[in-house]
Amino acid sequence: MSMKVAATRTRVGKYELGKTLGEGSFAKVKFAKNVDTGHHFAIKILDRDQVLRHKMVEQIKREISTMKLIKHPNVVKLYEVMASKTKIYIVLEFVDGGELFDTIAKHGRLKEEAARRYFQQLIDAVDYCHSRGVYHRDLKPENLLLDSYGNLKVSDFGLSAFSQQVRGDGLLHTACGTPNYVAPEVLNDKGYDGTTSDVWSCGVILFVLMAGFLPFDEPSIVQLYKKIYRAEFSCPSWFSTGARKLIKRILDPNPLTRITIPELLENEWFKKGYRPPYFEEGNDSNHDDVDAVFNQNEENLVTERKEKPESMNAFELISRSQGFNLENLFEKQMGLVKRETRFTSKRPPNEIMSKIEEAAKPLGFNISKRNYKMKLQGDKSGRKGHLSVATEVFEVAPSLHVVELRKTGGDTLEFHKFYKNFSNGLQDVVWKAEPISEGSR
Query: Quick check: pTM over 0.85?
Result: no
Whether residue 331 is contained in a domain is answered as: no
83 and 103 fall within a common domain: no
Could you confirm whether 138 is annotated as catalytic?
Answer: yes
Q: Is residue 173 part of a domain?
A: no
User: For position 305, what pLDDT does the model report?
Assistant: 75
Confidence bin at 309 (pLDDT 50/70/90): very low
Q: Quick check: is 42 in a domain? A: yes
Q: Do 245 and 153 fall within a single domain?
A: yes
We report the CATH number of the domain holding residue 392 as 3.30.310.80
**Continuous segment of H or E residues that includes residue 19:** strand 15-23
Is there a single domain that holds both residue 75 and residue 117? no
**How many domains is the chain partitioned into structurally?**
3
Q: Which range marks the domain in which residue 113 is found?
A: 98-162+180-266
Which candidate in 124, 138, 156, 198 is catalytic? 138
CATH label of the domain that carries residue 194: 1.10.510.10
Do 200 and 240 share a domain, yes or no?
yes
Give a yes or no: residue 168 inside a domain. Answer: no
322 and 413: one domain?
yes
Distance, CA of 296 to CA of 333 (rounded, Å): 42
Residue 313 to residue 404: CA distance in whole angstroms: 17
Lowest model confidence (mean pLDDT) among 145-154, 254-263, 296-305, 320-329 = 320-329
C-beta of residue 187 within 8 angstroms of C-beta of residue 176: yes
Let me know whether 233 and 104 are in one domain.
yes
If phi > 0 it is left, if psi is from -120 to 50 it is alpha, else beta; for residue 150 that is left
100-107 vs 194-211: helix axis angle to the nearest 10? 30
Integer CA distances (angstroms), 170 to 165, 193, 423, in order = 10, 9, 47
93, 116, 141 — which closes off a domain?
Answer: 93
Query: Do residue 351 and residue 322 come from a single domain?
Result: yes
Q: Do 363 and 240 share a domain, yes or no? A: no
For residue 87, tell me if it sits in a domain: yes
Closest CA to 105 of 414, 424, 425: 414
Mean pLDDT of 23-46: 87
Distance from C-alpha of 94 to C-alpha of 99, rounded to nearest angstrom: 12
Alpha-carbon gap, residue 110 to 101, rounded angstroms = 10
DSSP per residue over 155-186, as a string? --TTTGGGG-EE-TTSSEE---S-GGGS-HHH
What is the per-residue pLDDT across 334-391, written as a single tens digit (0 to 9) for each?
A: 334 456 677 778 888 888 888 888 888 777 777 877 767 778 777 655 544 467 788 8
Asked if 376 contacts 408 with a C-beta cutoff of 8 angstroms, the reply is no
Q: Are residues 64 and 110 in the same domain?
A: no
Asked whether residue 16 falls in the same domain as residue 46, the answer is yes
Q: Which of 168-182, 292-306, 362-376 has the lowest mean pLDDT?
A: 168-182
H/E stretch holding 121 reads helix 112-131
CA trace torsion 54, 59, 62, 64 (10° rounding): -50
Q: Enumerate residues 6+ apart whose C-beta is below 8 A from 438.
A: none
Residues 103 and 89 in one domain: no
- Domain final residue pick, 93, 123, 154: 93
> What is the CA 138 to chain-centroid distance, rounded?
11
The top-scoring range by mean pLDDT among 56-65, 154-163, 168-177, 208-217 is 208-217
With a pLDDT cut of 70, the percent of the chain lying above it is 74
Distance CA 302, CA 83 (A): 6
Within-domain flag for 287: no
CA dihedral angle for residue 180, residue 186, residue 188, residue 192, rounded to 10 degrees: 160
What 3-state DSSP class applies to 30?
A: strand
| Cα separation, 432 vs 427, whole angstroms | 10
- What is the residue-averaged pLDDT of the chain? 78
pLDDT tens-digit readout, 136-169: 877 888 889 999 899 999 988 777 655 454 444 4
**Alpha-carbon gap, residue 261 to 198, rounded angstroms:** 10
Residue 112 maps to a domain: yes
**Distances from the Cα of 426 to the Cαs of 325, 403, 417, 422, in angstroms?**
11, 11, 15, 7
Final residue in a domain of this structure, among 47, 63, 93: 93
CATH number where 27 lies: 3.30.200.20
User: What is the reported pLDDT for 143?
Assistant: 87
Q: Which of 215-229, 336-350, 395-409 has the lowest mean pLDDT?
A: 336-350
Same domain, residue pair 117 and 237:
yes
pLDDT at 206 over 90: yes
Task: Tell me the mean pLDDT in the region 66-78.
Answer: 88
Say if 48 falls within a structural domain.
Answer: yes
